[in-house]
Structure 1
């Protein structure tokens, strides 16, 4: 006779949820993937998804192996005036990337670029970062998304040159020097005239 409660042995529930989340986020993006859909694909109740991962954003962070919730990272950006975002973004990101936690972020990016999870990174840029910053810089209307993508292209370039390829002396420059150097370009992408 079976006793009530959790079945004996190890549970693969968390791994099944992550596998389903990766597949659905990669196929549909963050906005078009619901916690219910992930739960259904994993064969579990949606309450279990919340139990293991919390919010959908936290599930996404776990699915792409981010060591922190992306909304925590983007919190200070919400408080920054639009005309200061060009400096605020690299000033926030470079010290993070230089940290021990940043090493994990860079490793995650490296594996995503080398593997089949590139669509997850694309979803992160387009649906998390664009959703936070895009509406604030959408002038003229409809330009916010491409503005954020120009910023992302420069920041991904910094990650590639500084942390993956490790170009010297760029890789050894102080983070604030890089932030101040690229800030005018980033600000132009965000608020300047686009051709």
Structure 2
């Protein structure tokens, strides 16, 4: 076998491996969304992805690690929230962050995987722990750094609690009239509260 042939085979193998890994992640998100964390198994994920369970373990490890990888990809749009905080004056941070978060929830493409994450986290402590670590590392600490005020981490957590609670009632529990209210009306009412948490006295 020539060196060029070996390189081509190596590239093809890496591409096939990446495709298989992506397929497993896509299926895992669908399974967790459909069944929740407790009722989803690595065997089910492997079967739906058309691979052996050992291959799922090879790429990701335990079910908890599969869930972490799946939700990290689904959570990716929310990682840009700290950018929304940094992109402008501090006195407008509440509206920018609120508008950004509700924008993610209003978009069906990004809302569906988020619903799967939240439902699994609410019903299972292991899933909740994975979600909590991801939110803390990817969102809250980065927002806290951006606002640079006393008690920044607590402020970021209170702002997140306001936004997550509002999103839960609107998109997950679907409490009326919040569930049907115009999103601009919600942003107008929630943003000043978020602003107060982040920069108020």
TM interval, shorter chain, is 0.5 to 0.7
1:85 aligns with 2:93: yes
CA positional deviation for 1:10: 4.4
Return the TM-score normalized by structure 2: 0.63
Q: Give the superposed CA RMSD.
A: 3.0
Partner Cα distance (1:113, 1:97) in 2 = 17
Alpha carbons of 1:80 and 1:113: their partners in 2 closer, same or farther (altered >3 Å)? farther
Which of residues 102, 106, 122 is equivalent to 1:113? 122
Question: Aligned pair in 2 of structure 1 residues 61, 98: CA closer, same or farther (>3 Å)?
Answer: farther
Q: Do the aligned partners of 1:64 and 1:108 also contact (CA within 8 Å) in 2?
A: no
Measure, in 1, the Cα distance between the counterparts of 2:63 and 2:93.
31
Distance 1:74 1:114 in 2: 28
Answer with 1 or 2: which has the greater Rg: 2
Structure holding more helix per residue: 2
* Structure 2 CA distance for aligned equivalents of residues 61 and 75 of structure 1: 23
Task: Please give the alpha-carbon distance, in whole angstroms, between the structure 2 residues aligned to 1:88 and 1:24.
Answer: 32
* Partner in structure 1 of residue 177 of structure 2: 169
Gaps of 5+ in 1: 26-59
Match of 1:104 in 2: 113
Q: Using a 3 Å threshold, how does the CA distance of structure 1 residues 83 and 22 change in structure 2: closer, same or farther?
A: farther
Residue 63 of structure 1: CA displacement? 4.3
- 1:24-82, Cα deviation, whole Å (9 max, x unpaired): 99xxxxxxxxxxxxxxxxxxxxxxxxxxxxxxxxxx66344516454345443332332
- Secondary structure (helix, strand or coil) at the match of 1:125 reads helix
Distance 1:89 1:69, change over 3 A: closer
What number of residue pairs does the alignment pair up?
152
C-alpha separation between the residues in 2 aligned to 1:148 and 1:158? Answer: 15
CA contact (8 A) 1:77 1:85 kept: yes
- Aligned partner of 1:18 in structure 2 is 60
1:158 paired with 2:200, answer: no
**Match status 1:129 vs 2:171:** no
